[in-house]
Amino acid sequence: LVPLAVVDMLCLITVNVDLIQCIVRRFDPLTARSIKVLSLPHVLWVGVVLARISSLLTVVIAVERCFVVMLPMRFKAWMTQKVIFVTTMFACVIPILAYIPVFLRGKITWRQDVQHNVSLPYLTLTDFALNNSHFLDVYKNIGLNALFRLVPMATVAVCSALTIVQLRRYRVWWTKTRGAETERMSERDARVSITLVRVCVVFLACSLPGVALQIAFLTEPQFDYHGEYAFTFKTAVDVNELFLCVHSSVNFIIYMRGGDDFYNTFRVVCRKAFPASCYRCLFRSVTRTRHSSANQSQASNVSDDTKRTRKMSIQQFVLSCPLMVATLMAFGCKMNSASFSQGKMFYRQLICPGEVIKLQYCPYVTSARTFAKCASACRQQDGCVGFTRDPVTEECRLCDTPTADDCGNTEPSSTMESFEMFSCGNGGTVLSYGQCSCPLGTLGSRCEKRMTDCDDLNAEGYGDGVYWILPTMTTQPFRVKCEMQWGRTLIMDRWDNTVDFYRGWAEYKAGFGDVAADHWLGLQQIRALTISRSYEAIFEVHLRVGNWFQQNYRNIQLTDELQNFALSFNGTDSYATPVGDSLSYVNGKPFSTYDADHDDDATVNCAERHHSGWWFGGANCTECNPTGVLLQPTDMLRTGDPQEVFWSRDLGDTVPHQIRVWLQRY
């Protein structure tokens, strides 16, 4: 019986190991094992819960019977009671302790479910997330999920107490004074026994639908239906509990028929617990066999205790060996895999109402009695992104091409319906209930809109401000300041004179300053913008007295860092109040800083001379110095210091008071 007791303890650990596993993997344990099949009757879910309860209950009975047989008679009853109490309570305390950090670290909030237009309780666990800015997946109906786990724990605790009460009846047997007193039961013991047997039998009977449901989960997909237009595919993860239910049920039957003493007690209890007709039907044939066995044992030299113990040991070993192997296999599989299975969501094709994808775009054709079967086939088929099913002919087409925005690959159909696999674009994360968690710089219900610059944000109706953008040729979003009247993106701002622009190569490459105030956006970011589409650079120069000038440069581009971010443009346009062309002097020149001198004059470091970072070249280095020292003299005249900000053409000796550089689509 020792291996059987070990397996029973492994079963208890298996039931609760996913809770500990979820804490280690930083998942919410309440959602990790939740199974929601909203299309099935809720009574089946009662069966699932009762199956789990009966499994734990019969394990407790198994442990109790094993200790009764194994312990030497010299052990006192109170010692056995303590061992069983600690064993069963240990199985209850582990999962409860696993819940404590969850509810201490998390908080329950109410959020709007856009699919059903209702407010639902959500558990937010920022401390268990992969990072503090990412919220874990949420779940509905906190009460149901809590009951799904806490009720079995409470049942084990109650049954442990009942088992301890029952052990007192065997105290006489343990002290070698067995006799007629064993058959006599006090009224209190009878009530306790009746309650225990009733609970066991009712739980085992009610758990059959739950066991059948778990068997069905091994071969059938599970779905969460989200309103009329979407459902989620999931896979079963409770294989080990199926073995646990069967294993514990067999144990229960063995222990109920294990020995004459226990059999007689069970018979007396059942006579009081159930109607007479049920009792006679249940015990008529068994009683004959028992009486015959009793007569044979009286004629034998072998004691009844030895026969009973040997019979129980052989029955338990023979019937439990296959289940022990299966349970251990399920336990090993459980330990080596996460207990949460991310589902795949399908949504009804709504881009082209009344139409389905053409047959040539659906190369795989099969038959499916339900949409669930068709979705399961799509999930298993490589390259399948959606399916079309005809409910009349039960034809299921698996498509490898999504619906085109212009409906060019669809055709009208009055009977067939199309579903497509739900996915989030631009690296978005699929959440429950048909929602996406979009990365920075993307918008849309499925993260399909990539904000490449301020003009994209302007088209979405956003106003002036600082936003995240994600240009086409980069994977890292960054913040920019936008002016939405023209959809312009600010790449340099010298307005408040609060930032020192005398920086090294690394800082000019990455950018510096506050995007909402004085700043340099960064050579990497400027290049990411200019290589994705055509822009014109707008130099906006303001004087102290308030008047301002502007010069535009068409199709501006930067090379990569290997070529030192060389500047190029196709020409210049004058505004109504032009500031003059001072940039053509350095067209095609690389960028330079004091620690990375790339000008074409080896005798001088232009960036160090002008105390700035810019595109320099030639003996005079440059005709403008927008990133120099912004002196802002009161007389608005140049001081002759080469380090100051200046713009030579047309401004002459007049110095800029403020200067900005924008990028606008060309």
CATH code, domain with 385: 3.50.4.10
- d(CA 636, CA 630) in angstroms, rounded, equals 11
- Please tell me the predicted confidence (pLDDT) of residue 545: 79
Listed residues 376, 404, 421: the one ending a domain = 421
Range of the domain at 656: 535-665
The Cβ of residue 382 has, within 10 Å, a number of other Cβ atoms equal to: 6
Same domain, 269 and 351: no
- What local confidence, expressed as pLDDT, does residue 626 receive? 92
> Which pLDDT value is given to residue 488?
92
Question: Counting Cβ atoms within 10 Å, is residue 438 exposed (0-12), middle (13-18) or buried (19+)?
Answer: buried
**Higher pLDDT among residues 276 and 506, named by residue:** 506
- Under DSSP, is residue 6 helix (H, G, I), strand (E, B) or coil? helix
Give the pLDDT score at 650: 78
Q: What is the pLDDT of residues 166-215, one digit of tens each?
A: 444 444 433 433 344 334 444 554 455 455 545 555 544 544 444 444 44
* Type of residue found at 555: N
> How far is CA 314 from its chain centroid?
47
Kind of pairing between the strands at 429-431 and 364-367: unpaired
22-36, 212-226, 593-607, 615-629, range with the lowest pLDDT: 22-36
Same domain, 414 and 322: no
Distance between CA 138 and CA 115 in Å, rounded? 14
Please report, for the domain that includes residue 570, its CATH number. 3.90.215.10
Q: What is the mean pLDDT of residues 426-455?
A: 78
Distance CA 253, CA 201 (A): 10
* Residues 377 and 322 both lie in one domain: no
- Mean pLDDT over each residue of the chain, to the nearest integer: 64
Query: What is the DSSP secondary-structure string of 613-649?
Result: -EE--STT--SB-TTSB----TT-B--S-TTB--B-T
CA distances to 512, 565, 599 from 523, rounded to whole Å, are 11, 7, 17
User: Helix or strand or coil: residue 344?
Assistant: strand
- 51-to-46, 96, 242 alpha-carbon distances in Å: 9, 20, 9
| 331 shares a domain with 393 | no
Q: Are residues 544 and 633 in the same domain?
A: yes
**Domain annotation covers residue 561:** yes
Number of domains in the chain: 3
SS3 state of residue 396: strand
433 within domain boundaries: no
Residue 474, pLDDT above cutoff 60: yes
Average pLDDT for 607-625: 88
Over range 39-66, report the average pLDDT. Answer: 46
Region 96-100: mean pLDDT is 45
Tens-place pLDDT, residues 124-134: 333 332 222 22
CA distance 66 to 51: 22
Domain stops at, among 285, 302, 335 = 335
Ramachandran quadrant class, 588 (left: phi over 0; alpha: psi -120 to 50; beta: rest): left
Highest mean pLDDT among 15-29, 43-57, 198-212, 526-540: 526-540
Instruction: Give mean pLDDT, residues 521-534.
Output: 91
CA–CA dist 564, 103 (Å, integer)? 54
Residues 250 and 379 placed together within one structural domain of the fold: no
Residues 384 and 323 in one domain: no
Min mean pLDDT across 236-245, 444-453, 550-559, 606-615 is at 236-245
Q: Are residues 349 and 388 in the same domain?
A: yes
399 vs 221, residue with greater confidence: 399
Least confident range from 3-12, 40-49, 449-458: namely 40-49
Report if residue 363 sits inside a domain: yes
In a domain, 284, yes or no: no
321 and 408 co-located in one domain: no
For residue 513, is it within any domain? Answer: no
Q: Which amino acid is at 290?
A: R
- Residue 570, pLDDT > 70, answer yes
Confidence of residue 318 (pLDDT cuts 50, 70, 90): very low
Task: Answer yes or no: is 267 within a domain.
Answer: yes
pLDDT band with cut points at 50, 70 and 90 for residue 615: very high
C-alpha to C-alpha distance for 375 and 389, rounded to whole angstroms: 10
- Tell me: pLDDT of 364 over 90: no
pLDDT at residue 631, rounded to an integer: 87
Phi, psi of 417, deg, nearest 5: -130, 145
Q: What is the pLDDT of residue 191?
A: 52
Inside any domain, residue 594: yes
Same domain, 159 and 253: yes
Q: Is residue 540 part of a domain?
A: yes
* Rounded CA separation 23/128 (Å): 8
SS3 232: strand
User: Residue 447 and residue 423: Cα distance in Å, rounded?
Assistant: 9
197 plus 85 within the same structural domain: yes
Q: How many Cβ atoms from other residues are within 10 Å of residue 184's Cβ?
A: 9
Q: How is residue 104 written in tokens?
A: 């201490």
Q: Is the separation of the CB atoms in 599 and 591 below 8 Å?
A: no
Domain boundary among the residues 421, 452, 471 is at 421
Instruction: Verify that 255 and 370 share a domain, yes or no.
Output: no
